[in-house]
Each structure stands twice: as C-alpha cells, then as structure tokens.
Amino acid sequence: MKFTINLFVLFACASPILAADKLPRLLEAINDDHARAVTDLWTYNDIPSALAEARKENKPLFVTFRCVPCRDCKGFDAEVANGSDTIAKMAKEHFIPVRQVEMKAVDLDQFQFDHDLNWAAMFINADGTVYARYGTQSAEGADAYNSITGLKKTMERVLELHKNYPKNKESLAQKRGPKKAIRSALELPGMANAASLEGLTTRKNCIHCHMIHDAENRIAQERGTFTNDNFYRYPLPQNIGLEIVRDHGTKIESINSQGPASQSGLKIGEELKSVNGQAIASIADIQFVLHHLPNDDVMLKVTGSQSGPHEISLKKGWKVTDASWRGSNWSVTPNLNTWAPPVDEKKRKALNIPESQGALEVKFINGSKAPGRAVKKAGIRVGDVLIEMDGKPIAMTNQQWNLDLKMNYKIGDKLPLTYIRNGKRYTAEVELVK
C-alpha cells in the first residue's frame, strides 16, 4: 500500500484556531477534522508568526507532521491535537504550537526528519537550533513506538534543554543535520509533476511527505548513485543491539547479547544521554544520528547516565533491516504495478500449498502503467496465485516482495514467475520496464 502522506507540521503562532466560520480555507480543503475541533491551542499554517512569537516569549516551537488523509496514526494524531489534556496543557503553557499543513511551504533544511512517517514531531528554538525529534515507525506498524507517555517525556526533556540553552549549544549543533542545497520541495529535481503541485494546496495537489524521499530516490537512480543502502533510512536502536523502552525514549530495556552494543559496557536500565555528541531526548533522536552514518565499518560513541562514555563498533551491513513498510520504496524501479497480498488460509489449503512455500494472490494489475502492461503481456491475470520468483518461494508480504524485486533486479531484466491458475501450475517471464 502506498502511503499518501501530506505530512503536516504543528507550529506555534500568534493566533489560535478559532470558530468554524473563521477556520482557514486549507483546513476545509483537506478536511482536517482534528484541527477543526480545536478552538484555543494550535495556530494554522503560519510559520513566520510562530517564529516571531517564539522569540517574543522565549519558548520552543512544537512541530508535528501528520498525514491528514492517512488512516495510520489517526488515533494518535487525534490525541495529540485535541484529545490529551496533558499534552494540551504542556503545549499551551510551555511551547508555541502551530499546525502547518502543506509540505510545499516547509524549509527542508530546517526540518530534516524521516519523511516516510505518518506522524512525526520536531522541537526547535526560534534561532533554528533543533532540540529533539519524536515519532518512530517500523515493520511492526505505524503506532508501535508512539504514545502520549513517550511524547510527554520527550517534551519534558526538550524543556530542560531549552532551560539550559545556549550553554548546551555544542551538544545540539549537529541535530539540525547537514545543510541542504535545495530547501523547497517544489525545486527538488526528482519531484514528479512539479508544475501541477504549485498553487493553493488541496488534496489533489498536496506534496505528501514521502514525496520528498521519492524525489531523492528518482534523482539518485537517474545519476546512478542509488544503492540498496538507500532503503535503510533511520535505522532503529535494535540495529546496534539496543532495545529502548518505548514509552520512555532513552532508557535501555535490553541489550542483545549478539549485537554490537553487547561489548560496550552499557547497562540495562540506564539512559542514553548522548550519541556521537548529540543530546538524546527520544528514540527518533537516536535514529537521526544513525541515519547519517555509513552502512559500513564505523565507530559509534555513546554516553550513558550511569556507566559513562562508551564506543560501539559497527560492522559493514549493520543498517540492514525490514524496510518494506516505507512508502517511498514505490518510487524506486523496477516496479510491477501489481498488488498481490498473501493468500488466505482457506485458499492455501485448497491449493495444497504448504505455509513455508509462500503464496501471493494477484488482486490488482495497473494496466495503465507500462510495468503493469508487461505483467499482463507475460500472461499473468488477476486471481493467479504467485508461488515462486526465479525458482525461489515467495514467502513474504506484498511489500517485502516488491522490495526484494527492487533490491535484486533492474530495468531490462526478465523476471521468472511461477503461478497457479485453476489448480494448474504455470511459468511466465515478465520484462521489467519503466
């Protein structure tokens, strides 16, 4: 499933969202119900006013990015926007909160985060210094890491960082990220149909957040610089052998005895204070540091709350994980423009397919696209059950299958597929085209 992410930023501004008859045109255009219910907390789509207010009041900005039409994280977004009294009280008293609802207006240099998320938050100083990020997603699901408890703890850490600013400026210097040469989404060279995205934002011409990564993927493939490492964005702490308490954000829950951190000297129960010199306030902060490291032999410096500074030796390939959930994967070629989820148990038994074999039932083929037409030309039809790819069982989800295709094949290759139709076994070769 492709994520339709017009990720939105919650900023602080001078004027709050008011009565329904005075709500901004954009809110109505995108049916932003969570903001419509709020009357005195968030300001809508006005970053300059937010920055001015932050300077005036000396408060940090509370920034949340959210895909309004996407179902994933809908419940969590509702809690943050207008459901949690705890978050509302903290946001109103100590932060400048604004709900910015169009990516085309977002400074990509200032707001660097994982654009494949369905919900994310950033906290910044009015001078542009980044205090923290919040929001994490994985193959477990969109809300596996997000919670009001975890967000509250991150907000508390941000307030402590803000209280000590600028004395702690050195530990925050790298949290904004490497400078971006292109700061506008509309100007990204890989942004498809950029001209149609200009003008006032509606649901039809909104720049969804994953489109930022889509553009990066396209230009990297065009320039020949795209590798499989590009799929492994924002790796989790588990990739270095640490499990962090999710409702806490910095406390070590367990240490993988076979993982890189097992020999570091870190202790279960202590908190991570800094990673490679950056102050840590959440799991997303850890991911931001890891994202900017190469997927190669590299040394990571970590400071714990009890056991002092440590080094973790990471080996080539340490970033590898299940990245099949990422919406931006769909912009990478080759693609079959075909949706084929795993067959249900009843059909599996009827076809005598063992569970270890794997089987995907073709539910949709997009014949309007060249890759979909190539699938049909090879003889595959809706209802066919795919059981092998290049002689190997397809024991995976539709997303994992598509990612496996992108990682192991290229445009121009012939893809051998084995499938079952009406109880009989067939083979086909699909030409991979753009």
Structure tokens of 269? 């129960």
Q: What is the pLDDT of residue 10?
A: 40
Question: Quick one: pLDDT at residue 3?
Answer: 35
Domains of the chain listed by start with CATH number: 9-187 (3.40.30.10), 333-431 (2.30.42.10)
Would you state the structure tokens that stand for residue 146, as one six-digit string? 């997000």
pLDDT tens-digit series, residues 132-146:
999 999 999 998 999
Rounded to whole angstroms, the Cα distance separating 227 from 344 reads: 34
Please check the confidence at residue 287 and state whether its pLDDT lies above 70: yes
| Contact predicate 235/32, CB 8 Å | no
Q: Is a pLDDT exceeding 50 seen at residue 22?
A: no
Residue 97 clears pLDDT 70, i.e. is over it: yes
pLDDT per residue over 236-263, tens digit each?
999 999 999 999 999 999 999 999 999 9
pLDDT at 38: 62
SS3 sequence of 282-337:
CHHHHHHHHHCCCCCCEEEEEEECCCEEEEEEECCCCCCCCCCCCHHHHHCCCCCC
Predicted pLDDT at 180: 95
CB atoms near residue 335 (< 10 Å):
21
Please calculate the CA angle 413-418-422 and round it to the nearest 5 degrees. 140
